[in-house]
Amino acid sequence: MEGQNEQTTGARAAEDSADIYGEDGAILSSFLAAIGAAIADRDTLTLKREVDDLHQSELGDLLEALHPEQRRALVELLGADFDFSALTEVDEAIRRDIVDSLPNAQIAQGVQDLDSDDAVYILEDLEKEDQDEILSQLPFTERIRLRRSLDYPEETAGRRMQTEFVAVPPFWTIGQTIDYMREDNNLPDRFSQIFVIDPSFKLLGAIDLDQILRTKRSIKVEEVMHETRHAIPATMDQEEAAREFEQYDLLSAAVVDENERLVGVLTIDDVVDVIQQEAEEDLLRMGGVGDEELSDSILSTSRSRVPWLLVNLLTAFLAASVIGLFDRTIEQIVALAVLMPIVAGMGGNAGSQTMTVTVRALATRDLDIYNAGRIIRREMGVGFINGIIFAILIGIVAAAWFRDPNLGGIIAAAMIINMFVAALAGILIPLLLDRFKVDPAVASAVFVTTVTDVVGFFAFLGLATWWFGV
């Protein structure tokens, strides 16, 4: 009956929290209005009642939906009842704004109730002086754990790991292990693996919980443990660690230092966040907007976009200079000026398609030296076939539009050339950038667009100049 009551209570809480969202997935305006009114009236009791059953992700959505002054006031009014884990669910700019408005003593009190990985996620954005002051107010053991994670480089497994884990010696029996899990109050709330270590904390192996439940109490741990073939170095890039989880279908993995000593555990929930974060970063970088957040200010957003817009401006001048080489041809055949953007635009879109697939394949390591040749040949074939298809279409339209079959043939030939080159540029440029350790997600778009514009204009205008003898 007790388990049934817990399930009923959990289901009721889920239903209550789900009521804050409308059919479009956004928080209901009526709920926002109620929260806003309670904040304005400084009605702490109403606020606590409204947010008490919210999941951390739902509270994060609420914080993002509120105005900056309201969200700061909400955190202030909730005080010790504010769930700091919600700060891991919001944009970095919002998290910084909230944390900067809080005294370090309150932050120290709040992160004590969090898993170490969530606490590190909040603390890593702070200045070194603030970090030290907050850590000095924590219990010694917790302070050492968080400091160790913060000492690892950003975006590594050491930063994302959880330092709370369950570890036992190999000579223990299964019965001792079960009793230890039942009686020790300092163990993590949730875990799926128990790690086996020697006296120096060197990782020997692991046991899954389901295996423990199926094994007799008298059996020793060393008899049923399995080797942890996928232990992750603490200095491994978090994206590489996420690939390990994806490739081997892991739920959790041990994190070890340079001496193969167990220092933490990486869990699937953190890996999902990493995968989403890395995918968003690749997408934003391909658009030349860096690590932009929706909550960023006008000035910071503008500042992040200007550099690549300047690079695009320089490459636009390069394309314009190619057009300038054929100014006499354009003066005599005005139809060329009308049709030029079609050739360059189609080539740019084709190049972007190939580039997007290539950059993503490089990021997921699906494209390597072993299959690069086959993929390049495939993209060449795709570019040639698509070039012929659209060459026929645009050639017929151009010939009928300007009543000149010669013009239709010229733009058709230029289309085939540019679509073919676009496919090559879309795969070769990211490969070359990756070869020279330059992030292809950041730089590919500018170079691919430049190549397709220059080749498109040169092919179309060059063929017209040659054919018409201008």
Identity at 51, one-letter amino acid code: V
- pLDDT tens digits for the chain (470 residues)? 434 444 444 443 444 445 789 888 889 999 999 999 999 999 999 999 999 889 999 999 999 999 999 999 999 999 989 999 999 999 888 999 999 999 999 999 999 989 999 999 999 989 999 999 999 999 998 999 999 999 999 999 999 999 999 999 999 999 999 999 999 888 888 888 999 999 999 999 999 999 999 999 999 999 999 987 789 999 999 989 999 998 888 889 999 999 999 999 999 988 998 888 877 777 777 666 666 666 677 887 788 778 878 888 888 899 999 999 999 899 889 899 999 999 999 999 999 999 989 988 888 788 888 889 999 999 999 999 999 999 999 999 999 999 999 999 999 999 999 999 999 999 999 999 998 888 888 788 889 999 999 999 999 999 999 998 86
Domain holding 462: CATH number? 1.10.357.20
| Count of CA atoms in the C-beta half-sphere (13 A) of 338 | 12
Final residue of a structural domain among 227, 244, 267: 267
Q: Is 18 exposed, middle or buried (0-12, 13-18, 19+ CB in 10 A)?
A: exposed
Q: Which domain holds residue 208?
A: 167-267
The pTM of the whole model exceeds 0.85: no
410 lies in the same domain as 304:
yes
447 lies in the same domain as 403:
yes
- Which residue from 275, 276, 280, 284 is spatially nearest to 246, judged by alpha carbons? 275
In the 8-state DSSP scheme, what is residue 136? H
320 lies in the same domain as 461:
yes
In this predicted structure, what is the pLDDT of residue 291? Answer: 66
Final residue of a structural domain among 267, 282, 306: 267
Residue 57 inside a domain? The answer is yes
If DSSP codes are grouped into helix, strand and coil, which group holds residue 51?
helix
155 lies in the same domain as 202:
no
Q: Would residue 27 be called left, alpha or beta, if left means φ above 0 and alpha means ψ between -120 and 50 degrees?
A: beta
- Helices 440-468 and 268-286: angle between axes, nearest 10 degrees: 30
**CB of 379 within 8 A of CB of 426?**
yes
Residue 262 — φ and ψ, nearest 5°?
A: -70, 125
Tokens of 223: 């008899």
128 lies in the same domain as 182:
no
Residue 243 inside a domain? The answer is yes
| Cα angle value 456/457/458 (rounded, 5°) | 95
211 lies in the same domain as 130:
no
Residue 272 inside a domain? The answer is no
Residue 348 inside a domain? The answer is yes
Domain holding 184: CATH number? 3.10.580.10
Residue 442 inside a domain? The answer is yes
Alpha-carbon separation of residue 293 from 93, 95, 132, 274, 280 (angstroms): 7, 11, 27, 16, 10
> Which single residue is written with the structure tokens 């199926």?
214
423 lies in the same domain as 455:
yes
In this predicted structure, what is the pLDDT of residue 308? Answer: 77
Residue 355: which residues within 8 A CB-CB, separation 6 or more? 286, 425, 426, 427, 429, 430, 444, 445, 448
Residue 292 inside a domain? The answer is no
312 lies in the same domain as 422:
yes
Residue 276 inside a domain? The answer is no
387 lies in the same domain as 443:
yes
Tokens of 44: 């702490």
Tokens of 129: 């002086």
33 lies in the same domain as 59:
yes
Final residue of a structural domain among 114, 136, 159: 159
**CB of 406 within 8 A of CB of 334?**
no
What is the DSSP pairing of strand 252-256 with strand 232-233?
parallel
> Which single residue is written with the structure tokens 């990486």?
266
Domain holding 95: CATH number? 1.25.60.10
176 lies in the same domain as 151:
no
Beta-bridge mates of residue 291 = none
Q: Is 404 exposed, middle or buried (0-12, 13-18, 19+ CB in 10 A)?
A: middle
Alpha-carbon separation of residue 209 from 177, 178, 206, 235 (angstroms): 11, 10, 10, 27
Residue 3 inside a domain? The answer is no
130 lies in the same domain as 28:
yes
What is the maximal distance between C-alpha atoms in the chain?
95
- DSSP H helices in 101-127: 104-111, 116-123
Identity at 330, one-letter amino acid code: I
In this predicted structure, what is the pLDDT of residue 306? Answer: 82
In this predicted structure, what is the pLDDT of residue 171? Answer: 96
- Which residue from 308, 414, 292, 422 is spatially nearest to 357, judged by alpha carbons? 422
**CB of 250 within 8 A of CB of 274?**
no
In this predicted structure, what is the pLDDT of residue 185? Answer: 85
Please tell me the distance from the alpha carbon of residue 131 to that of residue 108, in angstroms, as a whole number.
9
Total domains in the chain come to 3
Identity at 251, one-letter amino acid code: L
